[in-house]
Structure 1
Amino acid sequence: MFIRNERSIQEFMQSYPVVSTIVIIHIVLWLIQGFLSLPIGNTLFQLGAGSNYHIAQGEYWRLITPMFFHAGLMHMLFNSFSLVLFGPALEQMLGKVKFILAYVGAGVVANIASFILGHAIYTHVGASGAIFGLFGIYVFMIAFRKHLIDYQSSQMVSVIIVIGLIMTFIRPNINVYAHIFGFIGGFVIAPLVLQGVRAYSPWQRRRRNRNRDDEGIQFDPNRWKKKRVPSAIKKNALWIIIVILALLGLLSRIL
């Protein structure tokens, strides 16, 4: 369910326009603010950060905008890679509109919790609340819509959630409210956005049809040699990627 089969970045962007757009926004905002250090970048950051003081003054757009800003390169990369790994399957399953509502809705719940439970001058940025909302949807599927998620994917999500919650409480400078309530928000939103979703989503059909097409191609006798990957590496590729990303996120907090 989380294995990507797209042959190029262009194909990925065409298949998952919402996920791609969000990641592009992450990168552009970081480039303007962090890498290029343009004056407008600092202004945008100051206007978009989740500041409890300014929200209390009526700047309610800050309940949405913080999920698109990040506090550094590794913070941006880690959240963007997480979205690329776990967002596409849901985007294809729910459709663009429902996916946007679920993602932004969970992020808003996370930011409201940060406003209510955080101190008066608490400031935060990051997409992790919205991403934990996606995990909340997956956990709802595992608990109540088992026909929508395969066993291997459900195991993977369960492990990632446990690791994510542990890291939430042991890593410094983490918005605990956003992680916990983003997850809860996604779990609560799940039954609304999953209405009418069938076991065989468009994403699953497309993958199944592509596999059949691949099996029917016989004109290149060296085709399989070109694509052959050691079975152990192929089987555990996603786990390797997840571990590397987790280590990068951890190291970014230590160094």
Structure 2
Amino acid sequence: MAFGLSPVYVEEFKQNDLDRDHFLVLALEAALMLKWTISYVNESGFIATTRLSWKSWKERISIRVENGTADIKSECLGAQFYDWDKNQDNVNALIAAIRSFKRRLTEEEIENRLAVLREQFSANEDNVSDNPHVVTEGTDASLVGRFSLGRGYFITAALIASNVLIFILMMIKGVHFLQPEGQELLRWGANFRPMTLEDQYWRLLTSCFLHFGVFHLLINMFALLYIGLILEPHLGKSRFLAAYLFCGITGSVASIWWNDMTISAGASGAIFGMYGVFLVLLTTNLLPDTVKKRLLASTFLFVLYNIVYGLTTENNVDNAAHIGGLLCGLIIGFAYFPSLKKAGFPSLKYATIGLLTALLLWFSTSVCRSLPNDFGKYEAAMKRVFAMEAMALEIFSLPKGTPDEVYLKEIRERGIYYWNENINVINSFKNLELPQPIRERNSRLKKYFEIRAESYELMYKGIEEGTDKYNFKIGEYNRKIEYILKELRGNSK
């Protein structure tokens, strides 16, 4: 399976007993039988494209015949980064069809078709080139070849460099390069609703520059490079950067809106947004009709496939961020259209970016304020619980020889008081939407606090009455406490 900016598969085919002209006839017949569209042909080879379908999102097949060998190349067109072996299948299908026609066609039939073909050859046409940039308006050149000539990719390069540099810094600091822990990503700024809504809104942006391992990074950077080569020359630096950041932040907002307990990171929300911008441009008159016709369907299918893949598989894909970024990109694409149409009015461009910035701030603030943050409230309350537990346990740190009156006061006013306060806090969690494992943990904590309070009551009675008759019961309570603590630590065996 090929992977890259334009996945490609190349194979050499030995002509053996066939000369160039006879082989070319068989190859053309094979391509027509496969229902490919022949877009260019001369005495050295031809170019054809596959039909658009669910199985094939259009590939360009080029054949160059030279010195008894035919170089057969199949290359993906449009926004495709994986070929799922489609290119190899195309080459294999063509070779099989050539061999089939070689057995079926007689020498006379081949000569008749060759005579017709020679009449169509243009004497002044150059040979088929292996350079994907040498194309005409009507040929199906690769997407990068069509748009990547010249300069103008500063923002794309800067964004890729930023993502890679941050990933390298994370590795230097000890973060695993294949499977980083969630807590490590949170320390670096990953998006997580309980933390983001606790006045850590900067995570909406920083999470767009973090990745769950090197493969996650590479896939996203290939995608960013590809769409950057397409869009940045058309949008310009300021529009491209603004659209990327807006889509990334919107994807992060969508993520915490949909996911209450998911750690999210990655540039894919922003990248999906850039595809949204591109889809809108393909529906306008800003691009040539030949480009729009060739790329609109394949780009749409690429986006649709990735969305459906994220919805139908359990692979930890944050589809909310993808969809949020995509929708933002569609809106930005329409918003950019007037300033792109009137390129001579830079004030319109900056006014559009300013308006989009205001809308993003309003949207993000509104969504974040409307979201419940029960887990954030729970964590804040638990910090208070642990602080009160520590104060309740201070009785065991009193020095030897402490008067009984002091012990009694500490047990009543600090120990028993704080254990009961903790029980009240745990009871207040009933109104929060919390995951079942946390609810089960809270039940154990409540039992632990109740036993502690009962144990302190007996300690108070023992000291007040000057007796040790409660020691056995206190010992039972202590054994129960140890068992619950083991359960809470996850090692109750």
**TM tier relative to shorter chain:** 0.5 to 0.7
**Hey, what does 2:329 align to over in structure 1?**
186
Hey, what does 1:133 align to over in structure 2? Answer: 273
Residue 87 of structure 1 is matched in structure 2 by 228
Structure 2: runs of 5+ lacking an equivalent = 1-141, 178-182, 344-493
Higher relative contact order (CA 8 A, sep 6+): 1
> Which residue does the alignment assign to 1:49?
190
The secondary structure found in structure 1 opposite 2:340 is: coil
For 1:58-207, list aligned pairs within 5 A.
58-119=199-260, 121-143=261-283, 145-148=284-287, 150=291, 151-171=293-313, 172-198=315-341
Any gaps of 5 or more consecutive residues in structure 1?
A: 201-255
Question: Which residue in the other structure is 2:490 paired with?
Answer: none
The residue type equivalent to 1:192 in the other structure is: A
Counterparts of 1:146 and 1:165, CA distance in 2:
27
CA distance 1:6–1:103, shift in 2 (3 Å): closer
Deviation (angstroms), 1:85:
0.7
Out of 166, 182, 186, the residue aligned to residue 29 of structure 1 is 166
The answer to which structure has the higher strand fraction is 2
Paired residue for 2:351? none
1:251 corresponds to: none
Query: Does 1:3 find its partner at 2:144?
Result: yes
Pairing 1:223-234 to 2, within 5 Å after superposition: none
Residue number among 153, 165, 169 corresponding to 1:16 in the alignment: 153
8 Å CA contact retained: 2:255, 2:320: yes
Q: Which residue of 2 aligns with 1:235?
A: none
Aligned-pair CA distance for 1:142: 3.0
User: CA–CA distance in 1 between the matches of 2:336 and 2:248?
Assistant: 15
Q: Could you tell me how far 1:37 is from its partner in structure 2? A: 4.1
Output the amino acid matched with 1:16: Y
* 2:276–2:327 Cα contact (<8 Å) kept: yes
| Matched residues, number | 192
Normalised to the residue count of structure 1, the TM-score between the two structures is: 0.67
* Cα contact 2:251–2:269 (8 A) shared by 1: yes
- % identical equivalent positions: 24
Contact kept in structure 2, 1:50 and 1:111, CA below 8 Å:
yes
Aligned Cα root-mean-square deviation (Å): 2.8
- Deviation of 1:6 (Å): 9.9
Which protein is richer in helix relative to its size?
Answer: 1
State the structure with more CA Rg. Answer: 2
Q: Which amino acid aligns with 2:339?
A: G
Matches within 5 A, 1:241-252: none
Inter-partner Cα distance in structure 2 for 1:6 and 1:103: 19
Mapped to 1, the partners of 2:337 and 2:211 lie a distance apart of: 29
Is this contact kept in 2: 1:102–1:193, CA < 8 A?
Answer: no
Distance 1:43 1:161, change over 3 A: closer
* DSSP-derived class of the 1:71 partner: coil
Using the alignment, how far apart are the partners of 2:307 and 2:187 within structure 1?
A: 29
CA distance in 2, matches of 1:6, 1:122: 38
Specify the alignment match of 2:410 in structure 1. Answer: none
Given that 1:2 and 1:86 are in contact with CA atoms closer than 8 Å, whether structure 2 keeps it comes out as no
Paired residue secondary structure (1:3)? helix
Q: Distance in 2 between matches of 1:87 and 1:6?
A: 10
CA distance in 1, matches of 2:237, 2:307: 28
- Per-residue deviation at 1:58? 0.4
Residue 307 of structure 2 contacts residue 319 of structure 2 at CA under 8 Å; is this kept in 1? no
Question: Separation in 2 of the partners of 1:44 and 1:72?
Answer: 10
Query: Is the contact between residue 248 and residue 267 of structure 2 (CA under 8 Å) also seen in structure 1?
Result: yes
